Amino acid sequence: MELNDLLAEMIERQASDLHLAAKHPPTLRYWGALSPVVLNGEPLAELGRDDVARLFASYLSDEELGAFRSGRDVNKSIEWEGHLFRSCFFQTRDGAAAALRLIPTSIPTLEALFGDDVETFRRLANLKRGLILTVGPTGSGKSTTTAAMLDEINRTRRERIITIEDPIEYVHQSKMSLISQREVGADIESVEQGALSALRADPDVILIGELRTPEAVRIAFALAETGHLVFSTLFAVSVSEAIQRLIESFPDSPDTMRRMLARSFAAVISQRLLPRANGRGRIPINEILLANTRVRGLIGGGATDLTVAIEAGRDEGMRTMDDAVLEAYRRGDITYDTAWNAVDNRERLGPRPVEVGVQEQSS
């Protein structure tokens, strides 16, 4: 077994990630779940202590091998058969380990992701300025949603788009727009340096891959306030938590940051992925907060729980996470059990439907 065999299987299975670790068989992640690799109908054996290093040997330079042997992680991009993989090679107590992610070159459209709910996302992609923040836990599809909105702009408008990413998640090709992607470590020293540098490139649209530091947050606010459309992501489980986290990034000047956020943001989208009722993948479910006079006033005045404001803005395209879950269930996209586990107010879901066969038997 060679690494190329595993990469080929990864592509064939449309897996997002490949995990290699001593004392465990090679494992793929697809549709969010881990599954051991099966080649030619046979499950693979556990990897030995030195197997991962052997699999990667031809892909690492002498300098990278030296860095790894000295105990440092090695992060690099691997190209194979026209596909690009982001890899992390590291040491563990049991030996070498690695994680590889397939970087998609095909970006899903907003229609493919959101179906009947697409109009709100199209309106956001048509904005000229403001901060559009997509939040959620790891693996919730934040980068995919952001990439789809960027691609909507790229396909339909003549704009200058610059992305600042660590690392690059999707590869964009210029269409109607002119797009340049910059990666931390390869093209720029840091997200903050790249975002400031982007200002000198006459951008209309800027993607900051993730707001990890207070300085990155401050720069994103400033870029949005100066007339740019800014996209970014943040780890938070809800819209309200995202607002609170942004403000708490600046404990010495929370009032100033509230006002900056109120002036600069256009939308906060909280996303999670739920399993489809047909068992074929997962569907994005979104809580959406849009900027309007009332919402800006609440944020500027110190409010962080904006549920009531979202409920009042349903006619404008806002919705709570419960709204989105219930809509998906009523469309038949998710099962009752999935909806039951995802909603906060289960009374809105109602009783479990009685199955036809069970009803006939009881009568």
Over residues 160-171, the pLDDT tens digits come to 999 999 888 898
Mean pLDDT of 240-258: 92
Which has more confidence, 310 or 79? Answer: 310
Q: What are 225-239's pLDDT values in tens digits? A: 999 999 999 999 999
Q: What are 304-318's pLDDT values in tens digits? A: 889 999 999 999 999
Rounded CA gap, 17 and 29, in Å? Answer: 5
Which has more confidence, 217 or 363? Answer: 217
Nearest to 284 by CA among 334, 216, 340, 245: 334
Helix (H), strand (E) at residue 44: none
Sequence-distant (≥ 6) Cβ neighbours of residue 213 within 8 angstroms: 191, 192
**What is the model's pTM?**
0.86
Rg (CA), the chain: 23
Asked if the model's pLDDT at residue 281 lies above 90, the reply is no
Q: What are 98-150's pLDDT values in tens digits? A: 999 998 878 999 999 999 889 999 999 999 999 999 999 988 999 999 999 99
The reported pLDDT for the residue numbered 325 is 97
Sequence-distant (≥ 6) Cβ neighbours of residue 279 within 8 angstroms: none
Q: What angle do CA 198, 201, 205 make, to 5 degrees?
A: 65
CA distances from residue 85 to 18, 88, 105, 167 in whole angstroms, order as listed: 10, 10, 11, 11
Which value, to the nearest 10 degrees, does the dihedral of the CA atoms of residues 32, 37, 43, 49 take? -110
The pair of structure tokens assigned to 64 is 């990278």
SS3 assignment for 15-33: CCEEEEEECCCCEEEECCE
The reported pLDDT for the residue numbered 315 is 94
DSSP 199-259: GGG--SEEEES---SHHHHHHHHHHHHTT-EEEEEE--SSHHHHHHHHHHT-TT-HHHHHH
Q: Is the CB of residue 175 less than 8 Å from the CB of residue 154?
A: yes
Phi, psi of 118 (to 5 degrees): -70, -25
Q: Which amino acid is at 363?
A: S
* Count of positions (residues) in the chain: 363
The reported pLDDT for the residue numbered 272 is 96
Sequence-distant (≥ 6) Cβ neighbours of residue 89 within 8 angstroms: 52, 56, 60, 64, 68, 73, 74, 75, 76, 96, 97, 98
Domains, the chain: 3-103 (3.30.450.90), 110-348 (3.40.50.300)
Decide: residue 2, CB within 10 A, 0-12 exposed, 13-18 middle, 19+ buried: exposed
Asked if the model's pLDDT at residue 362 lies above 50, the reply is no
Ranked by mean pLDDT, the top range of 57-61, 94-98, 227-231 is: 227-231
The reported pLDDT for the residue numbered 151 is 97
The reported pLDDT for the residue numbered 357 is 56
Rounded CA gap, 229 and 128, in Å? Answer: 6
Asked if the model's pLDDT at residue 276 lies above 60, the reply is yes
Sequence-distant (≥ 6) Cβ neighbours of residue 163 within 8 angstroms: 150, 172, 179, 180, 181, 182, 206, 207, 209
The reported pLDDT for the residue numbered 186 is 81
Q: What angle do CA 323, 326, 331 make, to 5 degrees?
A: 125
Rounded CA gap, 129 and 51, in Å? Answer: 50
Asked if the model's pLDDT at residue 292 lies above 90, the reply is yes
Rounded CA gap, 119 and 310, in Å? Answer: 17
CA distances from residue 362 to 329, 356, 358, 359 in whole angstroms, order as listed: 26, 10, 6, 5
